[in-house]
A = this chain, B = another copy of it.
Amino acid sequence: MRTQLRTIKGIIKEQIAGGLYTCQQKLPSERELSELFQTTRIILKDALIGLETEGLIYREERRGWFVSPPRLKYNPLSRSHFHRMVAEQQRQASTRVLDIKTELASSDVAKVLELKSLQSIHRIQRLRSVDNRVVLFVENCLITTLFPGLLQHDLSQSLTSLYKEHYGYHTVHSHFDVIPTAAPEHVAKALNLAEGQQILKICRVNYNQNGLLMDCEFEYWRPDAVMIRIDSNEH
């Protein structure tokens, strides 16, 4: 079927491929585009949503639509730090600590950390950007008893090196899940997404050299910003 929707998607796609818009550039507003294509905002928006699903464009809530840069290649099995990984791909990384607190584990977290009763955890929320675009919300939950005095350290750096230098812990084993789902409210807010938009959730659990479960990490990626690449030899 040659529908309007298809046609519009096709044209915008070509314009992006042809370089009319460059990476991270803002598209005209929905109102302007719908006028340009002689259609209603609803159909135009459906077209944009289609391209968003494909990973060609992304939106920032109430800010507009933008062209997606190439996906970052990410291997969750590698112990490489975020900043190093990004730099290796000729991109620029930055991290901002959003919140740090010590609190009782929620039932979700308790389950992942295999805690029997309600137990205290350190909860660190950070926001990571690539080339000045916010793409990842990370939440780390560490078992308090294993990390005394954690809050006194600089948490804007890599947690892996902090574990090693201050506590002598190495991550020798980990497992993780990759789940396509919707952004929960606090994540959506941090990533400038509308609530309920698609994200890629990675839930990882780390064990130290004594086989002890140390912490877990919830990563919420903007889905157009990343591709997971795993090699069976590289670990």
User: Which residues of A does B touch, CB under 8 Å?
Assistant: 6, 9, 42, 50, 53-55, 71, 73, 76-77, 173-182, 195-198, 200, 223-224, 227-233, 235
Given contacts A9-B196, A230-B76, contact A50 B179 (CB under 8 A): no
- Which residues in B have their C-beta under 8 angstroms from that of A42? 42
Q: List 6 A-B contacts (CB under 8 A).
A: A54-B196, A76-B230, A173-B233, A175-B233, A178-B227, A178-B228
Docked-complex contact A180 and B196, CB < 8 angstroms: no
- Which residues in B have their C-beta under 8 angstroms from that of A229? 175-178
Total copies of the chain: 2
A138 to chain B, nearest CB (A): 18
- Which residues in B have their C-beta under 8 angstroms from that of A228? 177-179, 228
Bound CA span A200–B179, Å: 10
